[in-house]
Amino acid sequence: MKEEFYTYSLPNGIRGIHRTVKSGAARCAVIIGAGSRDELQDEYGIAHFAEHGLFKGTLHRKAYQVNCRLENLGGELNAFTTKEDTTVHATVLRSDFTKAVELLSDVVFNSVFPDKELDKEREVIIDEINTYKDSPMDMIYDTFEDMIFEGSELGHNILGRKRDLMRHNSCALHRFVERTHTTDQMVFASIGNISNSRIEQIASQYFANQRATTRSYSRVAPQPYRAFEKIVNKHTHQSHCIIGNRAYGITEDKRLPFSLLINILGGPCANSRLNVNVREKNGLSYNIEANYTPYSDCGMAVIYFSSEHYNTDSCREIIANEIKKLQNTKLTTRQLAMAKKQYIAQMTISTEGNEGYMLGVGRSLLVHGEVDTLEEAYKKINAVTASQIAEVANEIFTNNSTLIYR
């Protein structure tokens, strides 16, 4: 059977992964294993600032030339920063693919971070911070994460604070990029109607001549933390609540049964247990969901809901009961089979979105050094047992922390 992905490595340590699909559009991305977790204490916010700075001029282009290069062709160039990664990605017509790859190479390796442009971009990011502060749903997630990872590299906001941004200049961004954007922590991911041999040829042309660099530091795992319950008066129209805990890292075997548990408990489908019991049966909340974010050596699992202030305690009681059921009562054979079917279908449908699929397999290659095919993923899901789901429910959702905005 034809392999689902084609993987390769360049002499400088950059790895590549490609999937050939029939499409008039082609997509590519450089995924760099460097995010806000890799900032030093005096660098908070600099990973995100550097991501913005990549578009502000290179050795070969002015800022407007970077921004117009693909847009003039009907394509797009974008980027985002997470706790552990920075991703620069592009979408173009298949005929313009080499132009996109050349531009990605230029902004990743040749950005000059001119102070004049950075001064303007600071104001853009400050506006982004203010926008985020106006959204309690977004803000409570970051605050909760900061609290359960307090004292660790994961325990600060990706955007940083206004006073931090004021001291980050061109020299600081160059130092951060030089230290963290190393070729051994890069993956070039692509998807489109382009042959494997042609992809490797293009990647070699635009990336192989870059100097090989290696990460000189190691990330430190977070220390244990003490569970908390905190109420913050935000004078919002509704209460916003997060209940959760630390969870498994992305390389741990229990990550898969726990992902299935999260989907059963509060996944995106209308028949998730929390949606049925909190929203549909009792009408207590419009927004309720469960999420799991795995990092390289740990993770975070949360249940979020918003409700009228007087319904907060009722929502919490229902959530606690649903967690207890999953901890104390194993799923029946039929329930487990239906949960697996739903999860597999969601995974399959998500692969139809080529951009998200490309970014997902690229990050998997960066973290794991390999990527499961869909068939391999299905086998692992089908091997999950009811006992494993009960086990992870007890391990993670015990002695939870709670944060409430009201």
Unique residue bearing structure tokens 């949960």: 339
- In this structure, are strands 299-307 and 86-93 parallel, antiparallel, or unpaired? unpaired
The secondary structure of residue 94, as a DSSP letter, is G
Structure tokens at 246: 């630390």
**Same fold yes or no, 6-207 and 229-405:** yes
CATH number attached to the domain at 6-207 = 3.30.830.10
Q: Are 190 and 199 in contact (CB under 8 A)?
A: yes
Element (H, E) at 368: helix 354-368
Which of the four pLDDT bands, split at 50, 70 and 90, describes residue 1?
very low
User: Average pLDDT of 69-97?
Assistant: 97
Q: What is the distance between the alpha carbons of residues 181 and 202, in angstroms, rounded to a whole number?
A: 21
pLDDT of 6-54, one tens digit each? 999 999 999 999 999 999 999 999 999 999 999 999 999 999 999 999 9
Find the mean pLDDT for residues 67-94: 97
- Give pLDDT, residue 3: 66
Please provide residue 287's backbone torsions phi and psi, each rounded to the nearest 5 degrees: -115, 115
Distance CA 15, CA 30 (A): 10
How, if at all, do strands 186-192 and 15-20 pair? parallel
Place of tokens 């600032």: 49
Cα gap 44→157, rounded to integer Å: 8
The H or E element that residue 230 is part of is strand 229-232
Interacting residues of 146 by C-beta distance below 8 A, sequence separation 6+: 155, 156, 157
Where residue 132 falls among pLDDT bands split at 50, 70, 90? Answer: confident
Q: In which region does residue 232 sit, left (phi positive, over 0), alpha (psi from -120 to 50) or beta (all else)?
A: beta
pLDDT at 2: 45
Contacts of 291 (CB under 8 A, 6+ apart): 262, 266, 301, 302, 304
Average pLDDT, the chain: 95
CATH for 229-405 (3.40.50.720, 3.40.710.10, 3.30.830.10, 3.20.20.140): 3.30.830.10
Round the CA-based radius of gyration of the chain to a whole number and report it: 22
Task: Please count the helices (runs of H) and the strands (runs of E) in the chain.
Answer: 15, 11
The torsion angles phi and psi of 305, rounded to 5 degrees, stand at: -150, 155
The reported pLDDT for the residue numbered 134 is 87
Q: How is the chain split into domains, by residue range? A: 6-207, 229-405
Place of tokens 């898969």: 256
Confidence band for 133, pLDDT divided at 50, 70 and 90? confident
Structure tokens at 111: 């950005």
143-188 pLDDT tens trace: 999 999 999 999 999 999 899 899 999 999 999 999 999 999 999 9
